[in-house]
Amino acid sequence: MELIVNPSRSEWDSLCERNIPDDKDIERAVEDIISTVRERGDAALLEYARKFDNFKGESLSVTDDEISQRIGMVKEDVAEAIRKAAENITAFHKAQFPAPVECETMPGVTCMQRAVPIRRVGLYIPGGRAPLFSTVLMLALPARIAGCNEIVLCTPENGEHGISPEILFAAYLCGVDKIFRVGGAQAIAAMAFGTESIPKVDKIFGPGNRFVTKAKQMVSRFTAIDMPAGPSEVMVLADDTASPTYVAADMLSQAEHGPDSQAIAVCSSESIAESVRAEVERLASRLPRRDSIEGSLSHSRIITFADRESMIDFANTYASEHLIISMRDPWNVAERITAAGSVFIGNYSPESAGDYASGTNHTLPTSGWARSFSGVNIDSFMHKITYQELKREGLDGLADVITTMARAEGLDAHALAVEVRVGNWELKNEN
């Protein structure tokens, strides 16, 4: 990995760039998939499943019998770990449930706000080499807690082995209503527009490869999506209180996601930086997924700054998906972080805790979107409606304000809607 010592601020923008090439071939391929699914529905989905996932069957739906059979294949220690993680995720997301708001803004005028669940949500869960059953928990549990009427899940077949039993177990545990063996951009298109089997959903959630990410961006004109997202990333802030081994392990935990992932260490000295780099090389040699790790590390980096203020400022400029603070007085640093998806405090808070079982959600904004987007939370599965009730006293008190503003904007009918109620319109009309 490249080591950059005390870079000037003029270099920061280039140091914050992600490895996300603009691939026109992917864009054209995804456009074709979306239009084909929209036009041909289930027939197109079956063709894609046979082409990409080696699917041999005839039905896209996963039956209750299949779920019952396959969840029995989950090892008991894995099942117990999933249950425990689900307990923590449930506890934290229940605590987020928004309270209704009611306020009398002036006598006779009451305004209210309440959150209501999104009716039908679609979850995309990647399969492939790393079937992300943990993501089922992170999406389906808050959807169920929020009260969504229907939860639809799409996930691809995994070669000859079918859908991961762990994915099906997590979906069953979370109360997912419908599961379909569909992957890739075609799954996003199916949930966005609906097919004969797969219902059109109101919002789509979930991570995926570049095809899935591009598909979500394209269908967002028609269906809400959770957030813009790209490859996984982590930044570790490390001073002389940090363990180079811990820092290196956290960097590698993101690097193994894929060659597009990025890991950044921001260190308070060159000696710490060199120790981290040596540990990354030592630990990486012991891990599988060498292609993913080597690809990721080729565009990851270690940066040093001479002062704590610059480390914090750079962290806010980068706006990492995951930010680990392995520094003296870490909460003091955390209070000054304004752009991060999720923050991990101290030497004993590995990023993988948030990925699996601490209780926070691991579906987070990447690529700098943490400056303006939140990670998935209970609000992601709800939308808020406001209400107002004006008594006669309240409307009398506001009438002049409303009509004056309406006429100043040239909207006389807005003023009329008030005046016919308070008895002024006939008088003004006659004059």
Q: What integer pLDDT is reported at residue 159 of this predicted model? A: 66
**Hey, what long-range contacts does 394-398 have (CB within 8 A, 24 or more apart)?**
394/106, 394/107, 394/108, 394/109, 394/110, 395/108, 395/421, 395/422, 396/108, 396/422, 397/106, 397/107, 397/108, 397/109, 398/106, 398/109
Q: Has residue 128 got a pLDDT over 90?
A: no
Compute the mean pLDDT over every residue in the chain, rounded to the nearest whole number: 94
Q: What integer pLDDT is reported at residue 174 of this predicted model? A: 98
- Within 10 A of 36 (CB to CB), how many other CB atoms are there? 17
Answer yes or no: are the C-beta atoms of 235 and 320 closer than 8 Å: yes
Q: Which of 227, 253, 273 is the last residue of a domain?
A: 227
Residue 235's pLDDT band (boundaries 50, 70, 90)?
Answer: very high
> How far is the C-alpha of 414 from the C-alpha of 148, rounded, in Å?
36
Residue-wise pLDDT for 334-365, tens only, equals 999 999 999 999 999 999 999 999 999 999 99
Strands in 178-181's sheet, in edge-to-edge order, are 178-181, 150-155, 120-124, 203-205, 224-225
Q: Do 186 and 52 have their domain in common?
A: yes
> How far is the C-alpha of 47 from the C-alpha of 43, rounded, in Å?
6
Q: What integer pLDDT is reported at residue 54 of this predicted model? A: 87
Domain count of the fold of the chain: 3
Residue 427's pLDDT band (boundaries 50, 70, 90)?
Answer: low
Residue-wise pLDDT for 322-338, tens only, equals 999 999 999 999 999 99
Q: Has residue 158 got a pLDDT over 90?
A: no
Residue 131's pLDDT band (boundaries 50, 70, 90)?
Answer: confident
Residue-wise pLDDT for 284-315, tens only, equals 999 998 889 999 999 999 999 999 999 999 99
Structure tokens at 67: 């779920």
> How far is the C-alpha of 246 from the C-alpha of 243, rounded, in Å?
5
Q: Do 84 and 14 have their domain in common?
A: no
Q: Do 169 and 64 have their domain in common?
A: yes
Residue-wise pLDDT for 243-259, tens only, equals 999 999 999 999 998 89
Q: Which residues are tagged catalytic? A: 321-322
Q: Is residue 112 part of a domain?
A: no
Q: Do 79 and 157 have their domain in common?
A: yes
DSSP 218-233: HHTTTSEES----S-E
Parallel/antiparallel/unpaired status of strands 109-117 and 382-390: antiparallel
Q: Which of 227, 250, 278 is the last residue of a domain?
A: 227
Q: Do 215 and 309 have their domain in common?
A: no
H or E element: which one contains 322?
A: strand 322-326
> How far is the C-alpha of 148 from the C-alpha of 141, rounded, in Å?
10
Parallel/antiparallel/unpaired status of strands 101-106 and 109-117: antiparallel
Residue-wise pLDDT for 63-85, tens only, equals 999 999 999 999 999 999 999 99
Q: What integer pLDDT is reported at residue 374 of this predicted model? A: 96
Domain span holding position 67:
24-99+117-227
DSSP 70-123: HHTTS-HHHHHHHHHHHHHHHHHHHHTPPPPEEEEEETTEEEEEEEEE-SEEEE
Q: Do 271 and 416 have their domain in common?
A: no
Residue 57 has what DSSP assignment? -
Q: Is residue 105 part of a domain?
A: no
Residue-wise pLDDT for 180-197, tens only, equals 999 999 999 999 999 999
Q: Is residue 273 part of a domain?
A: yes
> How far is the C-alpha of 5 from the C-alpha of 216, rounded, in Å?
38
Q: Do 212 and 248 have their domain in common?
A: no
Q: Is residue 109 part of a domain?
A: no
Q: Has residue 43 got a pLDDT over 60?
A: yes
Residue 428's pLDDT band (boundaries 50, 70, 90)?
Answer: low
Q: What is the pTM of this model?
A: 0.94
